[in-house]
Structure 1
Amino acid sequence: MDPKSKEQFVHSVFESIAPKYDMMNDLISFRRHKAWRKFTMQKMEMPQGATAIDICCGTCDWTISMAEASGSGEIVGLDFSANMLDIGQHKVDNRSMNQQIKLVQGNAMALPFEDNCFDYATIGFALRNVPDLVQVLKEMERVVKPGGQVVCLELSKPSWQPFKSIYYFYFQKVMPLIGKVIAKRYDQYKWLPESLVNFPDINRLAQIYREIGLRHVQAYPFMGGIAALHIGTKGSDRP
C-alpha cells in the first residue's frame, strides 16, 4: 500500500471504529494498555507545569493523564479523525479541562506547530499506522524543546517461543473475530495485525530514535514483547 492510500485507509478505519474504540481496547488487551500507560507516565516523570503534544491522541485517555500529571501546563491532543476527537472532547468537557487541553485535527506527518514548543511529544498505539514513521518521529523531535522527550508506546513483536506463536494466533485470528462480534467491524480489526507486519521490532525502533538524533534512548518491553515503550531525549545542542 502506497503512503497516500495507507493514510486514507487508516483514516477510514479509525473514523468507523471510534464509537467502540475504548471498549475494544480494553477487551483485546485485557486492559493491559492501562497498566502500560501508567508505567510510561512513571518513566516520563512529568513535572508540574510541563507541556505536551499527544500525537494521534484518539479518544484522549493519554492526553488527559498528562494534563492531570502536569496540573497547569498546556496539553495538545492531535488526531486526523474527527470522530475520535469528538469522543475525546466529550471526555475533556466532562472533566472541565477545556482551559488546559486543546484538541486539534491535524496530520502527524506535518505538525502545525513551531520548533521547540513542548516538553514532551507522545504517540500511543499509532506509530505503526502512519505512512512514514521516521517522518513522524522527526516531527515529534522538532516540536519538543531541547531536553524534551519523544515517547512512543506501541505494539511490538515477541521473539520467544512458544509465546510468539500463541500471541500471533490470537492477534491474527481471534482479535478480528472479537471486532466482528462486538464492534461489527471485521476488516478494520483485521487491519491491526497487518499493520504490525512491516513495523520495526523493539531494537530497530530504538536505533531509529538514535538515527534521528535522540539521546539517552530507553526501550522497555511489555508481556514478552507484545508491546514496548521507547523514550528519547532531544539534545540541548540541537538547533
Structure 2
Amino acid sequence: MSNQEEKREKVHQVFQSIYKKYDSMNSLISFNRHKAWRRKADALVAARKGEQVIDVCCGTGDWSLSLAAAVGPGGKVVGLDFSDNMLKIAEMKKKVRQYDNIKLVNGDAMAIPYEDASFDRATIGFGLRNVPDYLTVLKEIYRVLRPGGVLVCLETSQTKIPVYRQLYFFYFRFIMPLLGKIFANSYHEYAWLNESASKFPDQETLTGLFRQAGFKNISVCSLMGGIAAIHKGIKPLR
C-alpha cells in the first residue's frame, strides 16, 4: 500500500469512528473559536444569491448549511465528503433546517466527481490537512471552479511565535488526545488529528501550493497568532 493509500485509509477510519462526537469535540478542543473563524471565512467567500458552491470535505455539514443560506433557494451547494457517517450527521442537520438547495455527496476530494467549471465558489474547512496530497486537491478544486471563481480554505497552521508555538504543540500532542479519550473514547483518533495538524504546511508554503495549483490574488488571514489561517485564491478569468 502506498503512503497516499495508507493515509486515505487511516483518515477514513478516523472520521468513520468519531462522527457522533465530532461537533461537540470541535467546540471543546478549539474553545469554540472554530465558529468565529468560519464566520470570518464566510465573509471572504462572499457567496451571492443564485450561485453554485461546493464545500469540499464538508464533514457534518455546518459550512454547507451556512453557504446554502447565503446562496438562497435559487442557488445550490454541494457538500462533498468521503465519510458516509459524517454525511449522515449532515443529512440530519439538512432535514432540520429544511434546506432543499444542498446536495450531500459521498466522494473523493482527490477526484471531485464534477465537470470542469461547474462552480462559482469553493470552500474547504479543516479538511485539506487530512487528504493524501494537498496539491492534487487544490488542482481539483481549481478545475471545477469557473473562471473568476473563488476558493476559501480554513485550516490549522504553524504559529512561529516563540513559547506560544511550544504550548500549541504541547496542547495538540498531549491534551487534545486526552480530551478525545475522556469525552469521545477516541484517544488514537485524536492523536492522529494532532499528527495531521503538525505536518500541515505553514501559511507561506500553503500559499505556494495555491499558486502551483493556478490560483491568483492569494490572500491570507492569520488567526489567533497563526495557529489557524484562512487562505483565499481566485481562478483567473483567462
TM interval, shorter chain, is over 0.9
Aligned to 1:78: 80
Pair 1:92 & 2:94 matched: yes
Is 1:236 matched up with 2:237?
Answer: yes
- Summarize the alignment of residues 42-191 of structure 1 with structure 2, pairs less than 5 Å apart: 42-72=43-73, 73-97=75-99, 99-191=100-192
Residue of structure 2 in register with 1:220 after alignment: 221
Indicate whether 1:197 and 2:203 are aligned: no
Q: Tell me, which stretches of 5 or more residues in structure 1 are unaligned? A: none
SS at match of 1:153: strand
What CA distance in whole angstroms lies between the structure 2 residues aligned with 1:213 and 1:66? 24
The amino acid of 1:95's aligned partner reads R
Q: Give the C-alpha shift of residue 208 in structure 1.
A: 1.1
Post-superposition offset of 1:197: 3.0
Question: Cα deviations across residues 204-227 of structure 1 (Å, max 9, x unaligned)?
Answer: 101111122111101111001110
In structure 2, C-alpha distance between the alignment counterparts of 1:37 and 1:83, rounded to whole Å: 22
**Cα distance in 1 between the residues matched to 2:163 and 2:6:** 35
Larger displacement relative to structure 2 (118-127 or 44-53) = 44-53
For 1:44 and 1:86, the matched residues in 2 are separated by 25
Query: Which stretch has the larger CA shift, 44-53 or 3-12?
Result: 44-53
**How many angstroms does 1:184 deviate by?**
0.2
CA contact (8 A) 2:203 2:229 kept: yes
Q: Which residues of structure 2 form unaligned runs of 5+?
A: none
SS of the residue corresponding to residue 109 of structure 1 reads helix
The 2-side partners of 1:103 and 1:157 are apart by 31
In 1, the alpha carbon distance for the partners of 2:107 and 2:48 equals: 27
Matched to 1:77, the amino acid is G
* C-alpha contact 2:223 2:229 (8 A) present in aligned 1: yes
- Report what 2:26 is aligned to: 25
Whether contact under 8 Å (2:169, 2:198) holds in the other structure is no
| Amino-acid identity (%) | 50
Q: How does 1:3-22 map to 2 (within 5 A)?
A: 3-22=4-23
Deviations 1:96-143 (A, max 9, x none): 11x200000001000110000101111110101100110000000000
Q: Which consecutive aligned stretches of 4+ in structure 1 deviate over 4 angstroms post-superposition?
A: none
| 1:48-89 deviation digits (Å, cap 9, x = unpaired) | 112111111000000000001111311000101010000000
Q: How many residue pairs end up in the alignment?
A: 236
Q: Could you tell me how far apart the structure 2 residues matched to 1:96 and 1:196 are?
A: 34
RMSD: 0.9
Amino acid of the residue matched to residue 92 of structure 1? K
Tell me if the contact between 2:45 and 2:151 (Cα under 8 Å) persists in the aligned partners.
no
